[in-house]
Amino acid sequence: MKPGNTEDEKPGATAIPAAPLSVEGFAVLHQMFRVRRRDWRALDSTGQHRVVSEAAGLLGEMARREDGESAIFSELGHKGDILIVHFRRTFDELNRAELAIANLELSGYLEPTTSYVSVIELGIYEASVAFYQSLVAKGLEPHSTEWGTAVEAELARQRVKLAARLYPKIPQRRYVCFYPMDKKREGADNWYRLPIGERRDLMREHGMVGRRYAGQVTQIITGSIGFDDWEWGVDLFADDPVVFKKLVYEMRFDEASAGYGRFGPFYLGIRVEPSELGKILIA
């Protein structure tokens, strides 16, 4: 699909905003580390157990938090050894979690390979188009004071309605797949030049693919525009890692991905309870 007028943007009609509404929840930090094996092996058994005990204690406390927790995964492949995911109410709390990890004795044996900062985001395309049209029908001018007041009231309503999805527990699944992604901005293949009605339709089609995997995969989308190098982060949680391949492959065929998706590196991890941290560090 290419840019053009839709029923949502008829010539001569009041132009509705191009950006859909979104509501945000937990701030999220992904930390990936490589173990400095040579330095780690040089530490005697007593020292290794001391270091692991301290780290397991802190990670256990973080995992038991009621309002924003942390989880640890054993990372597969050459991109790293350990993946830690933090959900917190605020970015200040994320910073405290990051510093707490950095202050562990274990951090002296870890080399950060990458990280990702984002916030749980629910883009409400379908509701946005209908809501914008209702405000125009009432004679409100986009971005006016009255418009802004109505938008804030609608966002407050959506935050209450979607609270469970905005502030979830980290899913108790054995495997995680994380990857960042963008929407293309290349010549005619520019997602941001498409009318909002077309983008709504494409995202509806995209979402239908994901719904077919309900029960097999838990998906958490995070927004990272202004926070990190990509526009979104995607976490997929499942008990069978093969389902990640099937889901991502099938999604490649819908227009939102085939025509406009750009994907970053993929990271795969296996859930490790804090009390089992020694299993990935001590032979």
Domain layout of the chain by residue ranges: 26-120
Label residue 283 by pLDDT band (50, 70, 90). low
Report the DSSP beta bridge partners of residue 123. Answer: 22
Q: What is the pTM of this model?
A: 0.92
- Of 221, 26, 228, which is closest to residue 114 (Cα–Cα)? 228
- pLDDT single digits (tens) 17-73: 999 999 999 999 999 999 999 999 999 999 999 999 999 999 999 999 999 999 999
157/96 Cα distance (integer angstroms): 30
What does the angle CA 228 – CA 229 – CA 235 come to, to the nearest 5 degrees?
A: 70
Spell out the residues 6+ positions from residue 266 whose beta carbon is closer than 8 angstroms to its own: 177, 178, 179
Q: CA-CA distances (angstroms) from residue 100 to 57, 104, 108, 227?
A: 12, 7, 13, 21
Report the 3 state secondary structure along 175-212: EEEEEEEEECEECCEEHHHCCHHHHHHHHHHHHHHHHC
65/26 Cα distance (integer angstroms): 13
Mean pLDDT of 76-85: 97
Label residue 5 by pLDDT band (50, 70, 90). very low
pLDDT at 47: 97
pLDDT at 7: 45
Could you tell me how many helices (H) and strands (E) the chain has, helices first?
9, 11
CATH code linked to domain 26-120: 3.30.70.1030
Task: For 22-57, give the DSSP string.
Answer: EEEEEEEEEEEEEE-HHHHHHS-HHHHHHHHHHHHH
pLDDT at 12: 41
Rounded mean pLDDT of the chain?
93
Q: What is the CA radius of gyration of the chain?
A: 22
- pLDDT single digits (tens) 129-160: 999 999 999 999 999 999 999 999 999 999 99
- Residue in 179, 213, 260, 267 annotated catalytic: 179
DSSP SS3 for 240: coil
Q: Which residue has the higher pLDDT, 127 or 234?
A: 234
What does the angle CA 272 – CA 277 – CA 281 come to, to the nearest 5 degrees?
A: 120
Q: Which residue has the higher pLDDT, 4 or 272?
A: 272
* 179 assigned to active site: yes
pLDDT at 15: 84
Q: Is the pLDDT of residue 188 over 90?
A: no
pLDDT at 1: 42
Percent of residues, the chain, with pLDDT higher than 90: 89
Mean pLDDT of 175-202: 94
Q: Is the pLDDT of residue 6 over 60?
A: no
Q: Is the pLDDT of residue 282 over 70?
A: yes
230/244 Cα distance (integer angstroms): 20
225/175 Cα distance (integer angstroms): 26
- pLDDT single digits (tens) 221-280: 999 999 999 999 999 999 999 999 999 999 999 999 999 999 999 999 999 999 999 999
- Of 36, 41, 31, 40, which is closest to residue 62 (Cα–Cα)? 31
**Contact predicate 192/183, CB 8 Å:** yes
Q: Is the pLDDT of residue 82 over 70?
A: yes
